[in-house]
Amino acid sequence: MPAPLSLDIRRRFERYILDGFSGREAARRLMISSATGARLAVKVKRGESLAPAKCGRPLGWGVMGAHRAFLIELVEQDPDISLMELRDALADAEGVEVHYSTISYALRRFGFTYKKRRWWRMNGADRMSPAPAATG
């Protein structure tokens, strides 16, 4: 995805529009697309901000954020719980119907990882398996 136009170009575009140029003429002078010029000209005429909108995924926990504590409690009580069991427990207790992959993704975002049939909290200091014995 291309980067948004810089604020400097947007301000220069606004000056051209206020000086009486059409959106397409101002766009041609600044070497941007005529469609972008038309959209920005409408914003200038309405008095809206020309600052670029935020790009990317919105912050937060998504659909499962409201049920974060419930999922974490279930996984910590039974680290061997399956995604299907989590899905069914969530539907029974909270009334939320989601796909099991949504639960898997949410658990990874909450800091869990799945290793050898158990959900574990991610932690750089803890090992996932015991250290091998020293041979002597």
Q: Which domain holds residue 114?
A: 62-121
Residues 87 and 112 in one domain: yes
Query: What is the pLDDT tens value at each position of the chain, 136 positions in all?
Result: 578 899 999 999 999 999 999 999 999 999 999 999 999 999 999 999 999 888 877 677 777 888 888 988 998 898 888 899 999 999 999 898 999 898 888 888 888 877 655 566 665 544 555 555 556 5
Residue ranges in the chain assigned as alpha helix (H)? 7-18, 23-30, 34-46, 68-77, 83-94, 100-109
Predicted local distance difference test score (pLDDT) of residue 108: 86
Whether 53 maps to a domain, the answer reads: no
Whether 130 maps to a domain, the answer reads: no
Residues 105 and 66 in one domain: yes
Q: C-alpha dihedral over 114, 83, 85, 98, to 10 degrees?
A: 150
Structure tokens at 53: 């909108």
Please identify which residue in the block is written with the tokens 């989590």: 86
Predicted local distance difference test score (pLDDT) of residue 122: 64
Whether 131 maps to a domain, the answer reads: no
- Tally of structural domains, the chain: 2
Q: What is the pTM of this model?
A: 0.48
